Structure 1
Amino acid sequence: MEVFFTILFFTAIWAAVGLGGPSLVSKEHQQDLVRCIFLLTAVCCWLFWLCCYLAQLNPLIGPKLTQDTVRLIAKAWNHPITEG
């Protein structure tokens, strides 16, 4: 449940940056460009954060092999095992 609240919290922060950021800029003739920049920045930062956060929840760790299995694989691949 805490994962859901964390994602919701940071989504709200980046939504505030994307939606509230353009209101901090003065009215200029390039207001649409500034609004687009704020929105793209918020979306890209949020997506980057989300990918990093979710990757840490389910890390890609390989299987733990026993020493006998490693020796068997090395023998099958004709690779000498060095003790160290």
Structure 2
Amino acid sequence: MGAAFFPVLFFTAVWGAVGIGMPVMTPKGPHQNLIRCILMLTAACCWLFWLCCYMAQMNPLFGPKLKRDAIAMIAKSWNNKLLEG
């Protein structure tokens, strides 16, 4: 299972708009550069956090914990023999 194209494109566009579009619309003032920097860093961090969470769901590091009875039931329904060990 790989990454779907639409969610990656959509969220990249949303955070790109925040990181590129919003700094262009900041009002003039003494803190304009600070506000622009905050918006760009916020967009970059939020996009990166979302991307890491999205990618972690594609190949999880660990699976569900199954009880011994559930494993035996699955093995029986799939006609597999359990290896004792």
Q: How does the TM-score come out when normalised to structure 2?
A: 0.66
Alignment-derived partner of residue 30 in structure 1: 31
Q: Which has the higher helix share?
A: 1
Structure number with greater Rg is 1
Shift of 1:6: 1.2
Superposed CA RMSD: 2.8
| Aligned residue pair count | 71
Runs of 4 or more, structure 1, over 2 Å off, are 64-69
Name the structure 2 match of 1:5: 6
TM-score (norm 1): 0.67
Aligned partner of 1:78 in structure 2 is none
Matched ranges for 1:13-24 at <5 A: 13-24=14-25
- Answering whether residue 46 of structure 2 is matched by residue 45 of structure 1, we say yes
With a CA cutoff of 8 Å and minimum separation of 6, indicate the structure with the bigger relative contact order: 2
2:57 is equivalent to residue 56 of structure 1: yes
Q: 5+ residue gaps in structure 2?
A: 73-81
